């Protein structure tokens, strides 16, 4: 799905929500931001609004390295559960729809290790294990998450959860219908991945309305995704292996 990520209603809606969250939650512009599992790297330049230096990490980052000539944006090929970065070298870490693909405990421990004390972690994951479907299998997911389970997982890595949000509440009924219909053949799957232009604009408009509600402080009661803002405690030991 890399080719549709920049304009697809789901990716663009998530990017706008993350941008809103960072604008509100970061007290100052980060020195270094690390985007774990950056994929095609379509969001990296956008994170420059929130950090002086942006580093993208992905298992296939070597395929997109040539696309970035900006010296403040770089990419590295690495395992997100074994990062080639120094302790406390980042002020902001993004893990957007990454944890469900990898050993999540190790990845969160690595995120905690590279975060400086007081640094911010922003996580997005798919919600509700009962929503598991062909989409998860096609995407290579290992699991989906509950709010409680994700909170416990993040806190077990030594981070302090500050806020948990739902995303894609307004489109949730459509998600359920699409999962049910998708079992009947590839046509619904293709419609999700490559929606017609007008349909994509309609769905994006719905997602952006949800982002607008978030900007007004109106939280969603449920959704197909969970977003978490967490921080590394100021008194975390130098090696980053702090525990609550």
Q: Per-residue pLDDT for 83 more than 50?
A: yes
pLDDT at 4: 40
Q: Output the average pLDDT for the chain.
A: 89
At the top level of CATH, the class of 2-231 is alpha beta
| Dihedral angle computed from the Cα positions of residues 149, 54, 219 and 131, in that order, rounded to the nearest 10 degrees | -40
Yes or no: say if 96 and 68 are a contact pair by the CB < 8 Å rule: no
CA dihedral over 55, 53, 240, 120, signed as positive or negative: negative
What is the pLDDT averaged over residues 82-87? 96
Q: What is the pLDDT of residues 108-128, one digit of tens each?
A: 999 999 999 999 999 999 999
pLDDT for the residue 185: 58
pLDDT digits (tens, 9 = 90+) for 12-30: 999 999 999 999 999 899 9
First and final CA of the chain: distance in angstroms? 38
Q: Report how far residue 139's alpha carbon sits from residue 21's, in angstroms, rounded to the nearest whole number.
A: 26
3-state secondary structure of 203: helix
How confident is the model over 218-229, as a mean pLDDT? 97
Residue 2 has pLDDT above 50, yes or no: no
Query: The tokens of 138 are what?
Result: 């096609």
Mean pLDDT, rounded, for 177-183: 73
The answer to whether residue 241 scores a pLDDT higher than 80 is no
**Is the pLDDT assigned to residue 184 strictly greater than 70?**
no
What gap in Å lies between CA 68 and CA 55, rounded to an integer? Answer: 11
Q: How confident is the model at residue 39 (pLDDT cuts 50, 70, 90)?
A: confident
In this predicted model, which residue has the larger pLDDT, 63 or 138?
138
Query: Does residue 239 or residue 219 have the better pLDDT?
Result: 219
pLDDT attached to residue 238: 60
CB 34 within 8 A of CB 226: no
Q: Most confidently modeled of 7-16, 117-126, 178-187?
A: 117-126
pTM value surpassing 0.75:
yes
Residue-range domain boundaries for the chain? 2-231
pLDDT at 181: 72
Q: Under a CB-based contact definition with an 8 Å cutoff, are residues 164 and 181 in contact?
A: no
Whether 155 and 206 have beta carbons less than 8 Å apart is answered as no
Instruction: State percent of the chain over pLDDT 70.
Output: 88
């Amino acid at each position: 799905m890399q080719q549709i990520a920049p304009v697809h209603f789901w990716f663009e809606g998530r990017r706008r929500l993350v941008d809103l969250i960072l604008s509100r939650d970061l007290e100052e512009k980060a020195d270094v931001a690390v985007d774990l599992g950056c994929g095609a790297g379509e969001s990296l330049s956008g994170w420059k609004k929130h950090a002086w230096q942006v580093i993208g990490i992905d298992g296939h980052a070597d395929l997109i390295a040539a696309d970035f000539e900006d010296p403040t944006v770089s990419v590295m090929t690495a395992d997100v559960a074994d990062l080639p970065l120094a302790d406390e070298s980042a002020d902001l870490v993004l893990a957007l729809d990454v944890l469900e693909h990898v050993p999540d405990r190790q990845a969160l421990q690595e995120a905690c290790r590279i975060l400086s004390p007081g640094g911010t972690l922003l996580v997005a994951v798919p919600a509700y294990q009962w929503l598991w479907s062909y989409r998860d299998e096609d995407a290579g997911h290992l699991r989906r998450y509950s709010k409680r389970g994700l909170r416990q997982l993040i806190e077990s890595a030594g981070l302090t959860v500050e806020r948990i949000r739902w995303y894609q509440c307004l489109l949730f009924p459509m998600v359920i219908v699409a999962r049910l219909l998708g079992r009947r053949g590839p046509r619904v799957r293709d419609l999700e991945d490559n929606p017609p232009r007008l349909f994509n604009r309609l769905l994006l408009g719905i997602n952006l309305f949800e982002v607008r509600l978030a900007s007004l402080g109106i939280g969603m009661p449920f959704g197909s995704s969970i977003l978490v803002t967490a921080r590394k405690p100021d008194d975390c030991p130098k090696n980053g292996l702090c525990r609550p």
